[in-house]
Amino acid sequence: MTSPLTAEPPSSVIVDSDFVVILAALLCALICVIGLVAVARCAWLRRTTGGSNFHSSSQPPANKGLKKKILRSLPKLTFNDSLKGKLVDCAICLTEFGDEDEIRILPQCGHGFHVGCIDTWLGSHSSCPSCRQILVVPRCQKCGGFPASSGEDAESEAEMKAREDDINQFLP
């Protein structure tokens, strides 16, 4: 009589070790391919949607800078004694305004900067460097219109068409 410890295992339990290694390697390769496909898909979606989360309407407009035409339309002032109480220094270069310095005061927020400093900033950003308020309303890429207002001050259709004649409009 044979003891249970020396009994040979059934033939269905015997598995070739090479088969297990190959199966494990194939499983690892499959997981790697699925991971690479997921990363590639994510990168492609970010590139085609501009980084937004699947065309989410709650995302702020892209901060790509102002066109030169809009930049030139911002008013320039010469710093003088009447502005000394309101403006002290340029938040971009961190130097105090001197007499006869040429400055720009942004119409939406009232922050002032040296013309050279703010022009460089607004060439690559469309917001105030101090408070980050967006300076222009971009057009919709799909319909060419402007974003809907919150309903507080409804505009007539004639006023909307007049606004749509210009590509970028300053916020009130």
Task: Answer whether residue 54 shows pLDDT above 80.
Answer: no
Q: Which of 169, 78, 172 is nearest to 126 (CA)?
A: 169
Whether residue 74 is contained in a domain is answered as: yes
**pLDDT score at 149:** 45
Main-chain dihedrals φ then ψ at residue 77, nearest 5 degrees:
-130, 155
Give 85-124 pLDDT, tens digit per residue: 788 888 899 888 888 889 988 888 888 899 999 999 988 8
* Contact present, 138 and 60 (Cβ < 8 Å): no
Residues in the chain: 172
Task: Clarify whether residues 32 and 91 are in a common domain.
Answer: no
Compute the mean pLDDT over every residue in the chain, rounded to the nearest whole number. 74
Matching residue, tokens 């938040």 = 91
Least confident of 33-37, 39-43, 61-65, 158-162: 158-162
At residue 166, does pLDDT exceed 90? no
Model pTM greater than 0.85? Answer: no
DSSP-derived 3-state class of residue 65: coil
For the chain, the helix, strand and coil percentages under 3-state DSSP, each to the nearest 5: 35, 10, 55
Q: Are the C-beta atoms of 147 and 155 separated by less than 8 Å?
A: no
Domain holding 136: CATH number? 3.30.40.10
d(CA 93, CA 118): 10
Range of the domain at 41: 18-45
37 and 85 housed in the same domain: no
